[in-house]
Amino acid sequence: MKYLLGSALIVASSLSFAGAPAPVVDTEAGKVQGYRTEEGIFIYKGIPYAANPFTPERRFQNPQSVQPWQGIKATLSDSPVPQPGRSSAQRLVGHAGDLTLNIWRPDNIEGKLPVMVWIPGGAWIREDATESVYDGSVFAKKGVMVVTVNYRVGVDGFMHFAQRPDNRGIADQIAALKWVQRNIANFGGDPGRVTLFGQSAGAGSVAIHLGNPETKGLYQQAILQSPPMQWISPADASRITRQFTDNLGIPADPEAVSRVPFEDLVQNVLKVGEQIKDAAQWGRLSLGGTAFLPVADGKIIVKSPMEDLAITDSNRVPVIVGSTESEFRLYLLPGDGIQKITIKDVNTVIDELGLPASALQAYTKNSISAESPGDIYAQIMSDYTFRMPALNIARLLNRNQNTWFYDFSWRSPAYNGRLGAAHFVDVPFTFGTIHTKEAENFVGVNPPQSLSDSMNNAWVAFAKYGNPGWPHYSNNDNKRMVFDTTSRIETLKDPQISALWDKFQY
pLDDT tens column, 106-119:
998 888 999 999 99
C-alpha–C-alpha distance, residues 402 and 475, integer Å: 12
Among candidate residues 200, 205, 452, 498, the one labeled active-site is 200
Q: pTM, whole model, 2 decimals?
A: 0.94
Counting residues of the chain whose pLDDT is more than 70, the rounded percentage is 95
Which of 168, 353, 400, 159 lies closest to 256, judged by CA? 159
Which of 150, 184, 215 lies closest to 28, judged by CA? 184
Which of 471, 395, 431 lies closest to 131, judged by CA? 431
Among candidate residues 412, 423, 452, 487, the one labeled active-site is 423
C-alpha–C-alpha distance, residues 126 and 343, integer Å: 33
Q: Are 482 and 409 in contact (CB under 8 A)?
A: yes
Amino acid, single-letter form, for residue 442: F
Is 80 exceeded by the pLDDT of residue 10? no
Which of 267, 274, 266 lies closest to 290, judged by CA? 274
Is 70 exceeded by the pLDDT of residue 89? no
CA angle at 43 for the pair 65 and 216, rounded to the nearest 5°: 45
In the structure, what pLDDT confidence band is assigned to residue 7 with cuts at 50, 70 and 90? very low
C-alpha–C-alpha distance, residues 40 and 275, integer Å: 49
**Phi (first) and psi of residue 206, to 5 degrees:** -60, -40
| Cα-trace Rg, the chain | 22
Same fold yes or no, 1-102+112-182+193-294 and 318-506 = yes
Bridge partners of residue 197, in order along the sequence: 118, 223
- 200-238 pLDDT per residue, tens: 999 999 999 999 999 999 999 999 999 999 999 999 999
Q: What is the DSSP pairing of strand 99-106 with strand 113-119?
A: unpaired
- 327 as an active site residue: the answer is yes
What mean pLDDT do residues 83-100 have? 86
Residues 6+ apart with CB under 8 A from 313: 400
C-alpha–C-alpha distance, residues 242 and 72, integer Å: 45
- 28 as an active site residue: the answer is no
- 430-482 pLDDT per residue, tens: 999 999 999 999 999 999 999 999 999 999 999 999 999 999 999 888 899 99
Bridge partners of residue 74, in order along the sequence: 33
Instruction: Output b/e per residue, 88-100; b: 16+ Cβ within 10 A.
Output: eeeebbbeebbbb
- 423 as an active site residue: the answer is yes
Among candidate residues 137, 327, 452, 498, the one labeled active-site is 327
Instruction: Output b/e per residue, 416-443; b: 16+ Cβ within 10 A.
Output: eebbbbbbbbbbbbbbbbbebeebebbb
> What string of H, E and C letters represents the secondary structure of 395-410?
HHHCCCCCEEEEEECC
Which of 428, 216, 248, 396 lies closest to 311, judged by CA? 396
Q: Where are the beta strands (DSSP E) in 230-354?
A: 319-324
In the structure, what pLDDT confidence band is assigned to residue 11 with cuts at 50, 70 and 90? very low
Q: Are 197 and 222 in contact (CB under 8 A)?
A: yes
The per-residue pLDDT for 477 is: 86
Count the helix, strand and coil residues of the chain and give each as a percent rounded to the nearest 5. 40, 20, 40
C-alpha–C-alpha distance, residues 124 and 365, integer Å: 34
- 20-69 pLDDT per residue, tens: 999 999 999 999 999 999 999 999 999 999 999 999 999 999 999 999 99
C-alpha–C-alpha distance, residues 161 and 436, integer Å: 40
Q: Are 122 and 150 in contact (CB under 8 A)?
A: no
C-alpha–C-alpha distance, residues 331 and 420, integer Å: 12
Domain locations in the chain as residue ranges: 1-102+112-182+193-294, 318-506
Average pLDDT over the chain, rounded to an integer: 92
The per-residue pLDDT for 18 is: 58
Please identify, in words, the CATH class of the domain defined by 318-506. Answer: alpha beta
Lowest mean pLDDT among 293-307, 312-326, 424-438: 312-326
Bridge partners of residue 113, in order along the sequence: 189
1-102+112-182+193-294 CATH: 3.40.50.1820
Q: Are 125 and 292 in contact (CB under 8 A)?
A: yes
